[in-house]
Structure 1
Amino acid sequence: MKATLLGRLALLAIVPLVALLPLPEFWFTQLNYIGLYSLVTLGLVLLTGIGGLTSFGQAAFVGIGAYTTAWLTLNTELSPWLTIWVGLAITAASALVLGWVTLRMSGHYLPLATIAWGLALYYLMGNMDALGKYDGLLGVPALTLGGIDISRGKPFFIFLWLLVFLGAFALLNLLDSRTGRAIRALRTGSQMAESMGVDTLRHKIGIFLIAALFACVSGWLFAHFQRTVNPSPFGLKMGIEYLFMAVLGGAGYIWGAITGAALTKLMEDQLQVLLPRLIGTSGSFEIIVFGILLVLVLKYLPDGLWSLVARLRPPARRTGVPVDGPIDLPTRARPGHGEVVLQVQDVRKTFGGLVAVNDVSFEIRAGEIMGLIGPNGAGKSTTFNLITGVLAASGGTVRLQGETISGLRSRQIARRGIARSFQHVKMIPDMTVLENVALGAHLRGQAGALRAMLRLDRREEQRLLALAAQQLRRVGMADQMHELAGNLAMGPQRLLEIARALCADPTLLLLDEPAAGLRYKEKQALAAVLRQLRGEGMSILLVEHDMDLVMQVCDRMVVMEFGTRLMEGTPAEVQASPAVRAAYLGTEH
């Protein structure tokens, strides 16, 4: 941590040192434009590259920041240092409304929606008399500090780039936190994140808001740097160009935002000079070159140019082992031994004319391992998904400790004490094993995005990581906690899922084929863990095809066939049942 802090302080110290270099004024102007673009692109990296939400409308938020300060400073006596807060407030309100409406969309509808509202804001700016229509607003006052004009040249360079680096550090802090893990799960693991209690829509709106606020700050600076504002820099063309910067630099990397902004600006200027000489005629030919370059980057370097740097110098990951000891985090009250924990009553699920689960009923008591078995296609995983809210039941009722949870969302059910693993392992491959497991403790933390960006969440973060390490030791994966999860074999991936579910401190644990891919010794270790959990009073619902494991650990079993409950009984009763043998092996004629 000390090395990281020193590195960041060194970067901040570089800014005034660069300002002392005897560079021509032209290059400071270029660096200032790169800094303005970098602020917008930083937000896009968080939104698009990490959060998986494509937006072509960020230029409109730049326009809101620019027009707000321009109009207020020209028509009122407000200082620019106050207009920034007005701009941020207007941007936040706009982003929250637009985000609430558009971020419920998925697929190609979301990018189309961002294009639509980006165009709408652009034409609104260009058609309002108060904003000067397409001629814009002229004579925006300079940005001054202590009577010194800092809206030009070297003073502006120092102020701007300190903001850029502080913004980058804030985003790095955010990603290295409880909220950051939830954000990083949005792109590829939304269903898993919801089952861990993450409100994915809220986090999508959150990163949309952060990206809009970064763009607003850029617009505020732009207005006082240019001293004039008109709609041209805030149209769809610039929205596409910002996205191009993020993709070129590396949409998944914070420092890729600055790389992409710098390369785009420098190439744009140089191509405007070189191409007319080569072709012999003038025109916007640089746009064609950018299009070709984007296709080549997407094909041969889809993670952007910064990924080359990341390969040479992989990002620093935690190597220390979190402290193993008492962890001061909220815990859930356990039901008394033998108390009914889960009641599934006449649950039914249909997909059109197909009945996947047909009026299945059973109950689980505290300190009991219930097996849910049956041939492939019997409806076991569908039943799991009905209990955990991944699927909405077509009929019947599910109760957890007497409270009806049918119809609740996955995150609401997780909050009430159910944690689960998945039939097909769900994890975030580019996060470490420790971070993946810590995602399971999301509901046991409270720190939000702002505290994380200011690094005020470190004490809670240490506790969450210590809890994750504790659960990894519990399942025998202590030596792999700092590996990238994507490097694990199938067996350890399943153990990771169990450790992640245990981090939630559940009342009821649902495990969907946890032994699939495990070796013999790993299965024996898993059986020992399950028995230990049962001894601690935890209730477990287990779907498994490994009959040896099921017979070893289960107290009772429900056998399903073709979506119906075939029978319920002890392992011995199930083994002795002719109906069960017929279901698995076929009826003997």
Structure 2
Amino acid sequence: MKRIVQLFVLVLVLAAVPALLPPYYVTLLNYIGISALVAVGLVLLTGVGGLTSFGQAAFVGVGAYTTAVLTTSTSLPGWIAWAGASPWLALVAGLVITGLIALLLGSLTLKLSGHYLPLGTIAWGISLYFLFGTLDFLGAQSGISGLPPITIGSFSFDEGGEIYYLIWAFVLAAVVTTHNLLDSREGRAIRALKGGVVMAEAMGVDTSRSRIVIFVIAALHACAAGWLYAHMQRLVNPSPFGLHHGIEYLFMAVVGGAGYVWGAVIGAGLVTLLNQWLQDWLPRLFGHAGNFEIIVFGLLLLLILHRAREGMWPALLRLFRVKAEPKVVVEGAAALPRRTLPARGEVILEVKDVTRRFGGLVANKDMNFSMKAGEILALIGPNGAGKSTMFNQISGVDTPTSGEIVFAGQVVTGRDSREIARLGMSRSFQHVRLLPKMSVLENVAIGTHLRGSGGVFPSAWRMERPEEERLLAEAARQIRRVGLEAHMHDEAGSLALGQQRIIEIARALAADPSLLLLDEPAAGLRFKEKEALAELLKKLKAEGVAILLVEHDMDFVMGLVDRIVVMEFGQKIAEGLPEEIQQDERVLAAYLGGVE
């Protein structure tokens, strides 16, 4: 409710601006709004998704040139002639064309990683820019003029003070829908990209799809900005769509706060105004024209980034002591459907003759063991024994060189972790993989991803709220289950390492698994916390959940598990009950310090 009131007040303020400010500043606000629309897409793409793009100005150009060609040409082919009847139809055509181009470029570019990704965006950004200035039907360097104004009925947006309302309506729609999207199941999947592909895929997130989704959305925002720019200027030429403008848009997102939706608006306003003021005042100060504004502009941006590394929006929130409201958990929300667990004693996992080679190194050799539903099995061995490699092959992170893994009656050898997670396997990690800036509740809710179905469009328009309430209620239930209710709304990164490991277990439980893989779950826990964890695992066992764990704390293992598999140099050297393993000479020699 508070958010709706704040938005209503903002709309009233924006509506009053043309009557209160001179036309010059209204025009500046038009440019700020158009830039903010592009920057909102970059917040989603770069700030949240972690995918750096320097090529957004080219998508602005696609939107601008599409509407310019369609609304000024007198001889359009029949299949596209419908789009030339109105700028609004040209917008639809532009969004479709931009979306197809973004799908093509994204499918090629997003396969790159590291510094190759931004270099790839520079490559196609430059290519599209020169394409605009080369093709004759686009007007080459002269561009296209005589664009009609945007109209609604008899009303025409042909003046700066009139199109101002349309521009800011688009900006507010982009901000609100982006905020809604991030505050949803789909949004958590997008934010999980920064936590690493391995973690996200293990929770059932299709990371390739999520990357393409945000790439296309960012491109569509840029296309809409280009459409508005073209009909505001009534002229289109290549100059506003070059690489330096793409860099400027990225600056806006970063300076405003790359991970914050409203930061895009703040960044666009700050960069645009600063750039304009420097162009106006520096020639007067130095007495002649030059590129002084570029030098000073760069230094000032460097200072801002140095003093407010997260951007201006979070700095403003801290300055005015504004804290994000905790998510509301609807306690009466209907419970999510539960998985039917296999009958106790039924074989749920089989590892058959699994060998994994990395060149000349044999990490696992002829590994064989099985697990039953409702059983706790420990995989132990000295450092370098190949336990983590075995874990990764079982969960789909890695693929055996030879051998076979069967889970829930299906051969999962070579299948990706997302598919295996859908069958009922969930896991934690040896090195904690959480999103530190997200709350404990939101981190655990990532585990519910496969238990929901809300898509991008319903999420952006808050049409999936009933499902979202159920997912959050399930996450809250698992948090209480592991004893972290007091920290439900705290940032996950603010908790101790042992508590973060418990969060990972809660996240894995939120997926409703039939097999739970725990990689050193007791590491970093105090004695009482270990006791509580052991009790939780015993309860899960009683419910019929199978648990495979890697652990170095032998006191914790021996008093908890049903059976133990011992590894050394990638091979199984012993398997049996805890009391049998404690007396096995091979185990004592390899792992427990030898025998007298």
Partner residue in 2 for 1:6: 5
AA in 2 matched with 1:182: A
Kindly state the Cα deviation for residue 319 of structure 1 after the two structures are TM-superposed.
5.5
Question: In 2, Cα distance between the equivalents of 1:460 and 1:503?
Answer: 15
Q: Deviations over 1:197-254 (max 9, x none)?
A: 1011110110001000000000001011000000110111111111111111111111
Deviation at 1:464, TM superposition (A): 0.3
1:48, CA displacement in angstroms?
A: 0.6
Is the aligned partner of 1:123 residue 2:130?
yes
- Deviation, 1:585, is 3.8
Pairs within 5 Å for 1:145-544: 145-312=152-319, 313-318=321-326, 320-323=328-331, 326-327=334-335, 329-544=336-551
Cα distance in 2 between the residues matched to 1:254 and 1:304: 11
| Counterpart Cα distance in 2 of 1:413 and 1:379 | 21
Q: C-alpha displacement at 1:94, in angstroms?
A: 0.3
- Residue in 1 that maps onto 2:43: 45
Equivalent residue number for residue 144 of structure 2? 137
* Deviating more after overlay: 239-248 vs 182-191: 182-191
Partner Cα separation in structure 2 for residue 574 and residue 325 of structure 1: 47
Counterpart of 2:309 in 1: which secondary structure?
Answer: coil
**Where do residues 94-113 of structure 1 align in structure 2 (5 Å cutoff)?**
94-113=101-120
Listed one character per residue, the Cα deviations across residues 290-327 of structure 1 (whole Å, up to 9, x for unaligned) are 32233333433221122211323344232644416750
Partner of 2:77: none
Q: CA deviation at 1:40?
A: 0.4
Q: Which of 64, 68, 71 is matched with 1:70 structurally? A: 68
Q: Does the 8 Å contact 2:61/2:223 carry over to 1?
A: yes
SS in 1 for 2:268: helix
C-alpha change, 1:513 and 1:212, in structure 2 (3 Å) is same
Give how far 1:337 is off: 1.3
* Amino acid of the structure 2 residue aligned with 1:348: T
TM-score normalized by structure 2?
A: 0.96
Any idea what SS the aligned residue of 1:133 has?
coil
Whether the 8 Å contact between 1:365 and 1:539 is mirrored in structure 2 is yes
Kept in 1: contact 2:588–2:595 (CA 8 A): no
Write the distance in 1 (CA, Å) between the matches of 2:304 and 2:358. Answer: 42
SS in 1 for 2:114: coil
Give the match for residue 562 of structure 1: 569
Cα distance in structure 1, aligned partners of 2:331 and 2:486: 14
Is the 1:380–1:560 Cα contact (8 Å) retained in structure 2?
yes
Structure 2 unmatched ranges of 5 or more: 75-83
SS in structure 1 opposite 2:362?
A: strand
What SS does structure 1 have at the residue aligned with 2:195?
coil
Q: Which is worse superposed, 225-234 or 331-340?
A: 331-340
- Of 141-150 and 463-472, more deviation after overlay is shown by 141-150
- Structure 1 Cα separation of the partners of residues 219 and 450 of structure 2: 27
Kept in 1: contact 2:266–2:313 (CA 8 A)? yes
User: Given the superposition, is the C-alpha separation of residues 410 and 115 from structure 1 closer, same or farther in structure 2, using an over 3 Å criterion?
Assistant: same
Q: In structure 1, what is the Cα distance between the partners aligned to 2:539 and 2:204?
A: 25
SS in 1 for 2:547: strand
Provide the rounded CA distance (Å) in 2 between the counterparts of 1:151 and 1:530.
68
Further displaced range: 452-461 or 274-283: 274-283
- For the residues of structure 1 that align with 2:259 and 2:136, how far apart are their CA atoms? 41
Does structure 2 retain, via aligned residues, the 8 Å contact 1:347–1:360? yes
Measure, in 2, the Cα distance between the counterparts of 1:429 and 1:64. 37
Gaps of 5+ in 1: none
Query: Contact (CA 8 Å) 2:408, 2:423: kept in 1 or not?
Result: no
Distance 2:329 2:100 in 1: 43
- Determine the C-alpha separation between the residues in 1 that align with 2:124 and 2:164: 32
User: Matched residue of 2:342: which SS?
Assistant: coil
Match for 1:570: what amino acid? L
C-alpha distance in structure 2 between counterparts of 1:353 and 1:295, whole Å:
48
Structure 2 residue identity aligned to 1:424:
H
Partner of 1:323, secondary structure, is coil
1:499 and 1:300 mapped to 2: Cα distance? 37
- Per-residue CA deviation, residues 176-216 of structure 1 (Å, 9 max, x unaligned), is 11111111111233221111010111101100010000000
Residue equivalent to 2:17: 18
Whole-Å separation in 1 of the counterparts to 2:270 and 2:12: 23
Q: State the one-letter code of the partner of 2:451.
A: R
Matched position secondary structure for 1:376: coil
Distance 1:47 1:250 in 2: 13
1:575 deviates by 1.2
Aligned to 1:61: 59
Distance 1:585 1:495 in 2: 27
Using the TM superposition, name which of 147-156 and 569-578 deviates more.
Answer: 147-156
- CA-to-partner distance for each residue in 1:450-496, whole Å, 9 max, x for gaps? 11110111111100000001111111111111111010101111110
The AA in structure 1 aligned to 2:135 is: M
Secondary structure of the 1:408 match is coil
TM-score (norm 1): 0.97
Structure 1 residue 533: Cα displacement: 0.6
CA contact (8 A) 1:317 1:482 kept: no
Residues 276-285 or 117-126, more deviating: 276-285
The number of residue pairs the alignment matches comes to 586
Q: Return the offset for 1:145.
A: 2.0
SS in 1 for 2:489: coil
Q: Is the 8 A contact 2:148 2:231 kept in 1?
A: yes
The one-letter amino acid of 1:41's match is A
Cα distance in 2 between the residues matched to 1:293 and 1:16: 31
Deviation digits for residues 24-61 of structure 1 (CA, Å, limit 9, x no counterpart)? 11111111111011100110111111111010100111
Question: How much has 1:586 moved relative to structure 2?
Answer: 3.8
Q: Percent identity?
A: 56
Partners of 1:322 and 1:469 within 8 A in 2: no
Provide the C-alpha distance between the structure 2 equivalents of 1:151 and 1:466, rounded to a whole number of angstroms.
50
Contact 2:326 2:489 survives alignment (8 Å): yes
One-letter code of the match for 1:118? G
Structure 1 position 64, deviation (Å): 0.8
Cα deviation for residue 90 of structure 1 reads 0.2
